[in-house]
Structure 1
């Protein structure tokens, strides 16, 4: 027990950094997801092609390689990012690419009759998307966004490889300092990661429940 009491105070600052990265990267990821997701269903082919290249590039390459490229390679082109910003950008762009498919799929899942009805009401394309399609699509997106958030949290552990003192980095420092702490350190890491993930899980369930109110059952 004394080992755990010694480890926890030392590892908490790393948990704070992990949460900060999670929040910042999530905001970027979901912003990018909506932009890219809407771009994938745009009527303009050039926009569809650009967003397709982005999505396939970030989904088809390793997050670790992207992280290293942004942190170590970009300075060669005159763009040097701090470890925190590099981690946020890499995570946000990577998971934003996956989340964009959730956005695209949700929009395409809305029956075309909804679009036809809004056209009959003389709505503009923007009004159709904002007032008819997106409100229904958001309900479909929630489970996917919840899973993306959990995966993003797990992905934050990679930022320890670019010298960012996150939860995993702190744990490894403690473990390397005292090899007898190996088992307690990883037990504490597991518990803290789960504690951080739990509010995300519960929040998504709550949002899904609220969003389904008033929706007719098939």
Structure 2
């Protein structure tokens, strides 16, 4: 076990690569989810068709196979990606498809009265979506987005197969050098757990902030009304 603990610099380097891929993949997935999710909730048929084409294809494709295709197959036709770019693209495209369904469902879950009020205010469709619908839908999106973020982080464990020295890759190196299989992977499990908890904490902070912006949670330090006793106003 001591030999495994002595190798912590390698684990930290691998963990940093894992965090980078998670953040970059999540940013790409978020952009794609918002774009195609809004398209899926739009009225034009062609926009909904584009949404279904993207969602059904990339949600049904395995992220690892997509990563192999980007890194090993496309160079055969002259299009090359670095290992990091291939990993980020594969994870972003795959989890963006799941996120697009979350966005579409959250937009459709906003009460119809909100649409009607925005129309009554003579807001254009883009203004209705940006100022009225999306702010309320975001509060519904964040919990499932948090789950997808954790799943994306765990999916980065396969990027070592395209020669990226992530946390799993470093663990394999340490295990090969020390022969301590149980201790090595137990420590790696702890590191993944810590990363997941940090990400989950950030999502929870965003949830609380969004709820306060929508007036669903009192602001910190705000005065709370003390209910008067049933017998009347206290003296």
Q: Smaller-chain TM-score range?
A: over 0.9
1:17 CA displacement: 0.7
Query: What is the RMSD computed on CA atoms of the aligned residues?
Result: 1.3
Q: Paired residue for 1:186?
A: 185
> 168-177 or 97-106: which moved more?
168-177
Asked if structure 1 preserves the Cα contact closer than 8 Å seen for 2:109 and 2:137, the reply is: yes
Please list every run of 5 or more consecutive structure 1 residues that lacks an aligned counterpart in the other structure. Answer: none
Question: Aligned pair 1:200/2:207, yes or no?
Answer: no
Provide the rounded CA distance (Å) in 2 between the counterparts of 1:125 and 1:208.
26
Alignment-derived partner of residue 99 in structure 1 = 99
Supply the distance in 2 between the matched residues of 1:5 and 1:147 (Cα, whole angstroms): 30
- Write out the 4+ residue segments of structure 1 that deviate beyond 4 Å after TM superposition: none
1:76/1:50 CA distance change after superposition, 3 Å: farther
Q: CA deviation at 1:184?
A: 1.3
TM-score by length of 1: 0.94
- CA offsets per residue over residues 67-91 of structure 1, 9 Å max, x none? 1111111112221000000000000
Q: What is the TM-score with the length of structure 2 in the denominator?
A: 0.88
CA contact (8 A) 2:3 2:178 kept: no
Deviation, structure 1 residue 12: 1.4
SS at the partner of 2:136?
helix
| Structure 1 residue 5 displacement after superposition | 2.3
2:99 and 2:187 map into 1 onto residues whose CA distance is 30
C-alpha contact (below 8 Å) 1:157/1:166 kept by paired residues: yes
Partner of 2:144: 144
Match of 2:216 in 1: 215
**Higher alpha-carbon deviation: 61-70 or 150-159:** 61-70
In the alignment, what sits opposite 1:9?
Answer: 9
Q: 3-state SS of the aligned residue for 2:7?
A: helix
Q: Name the count of aligned residue pairs.
A: 215
Matches within 5 A, 1:102-117: 102-117=102-117
Q: Is 1:27 the equivalent of 2:27?
A: yes
Q: Deviations over 1:81-116 (max 9, x none)?
A: 000000000001101110111111100000111111
Greater C-alpha Rg: 2
Task: Summarize the alignment of residues 11-90 of structure 1 with structure 2, pairs less than 5 Å apart.
Answer: 11-90=11-90
- Name the one with the larger helix percent: 1
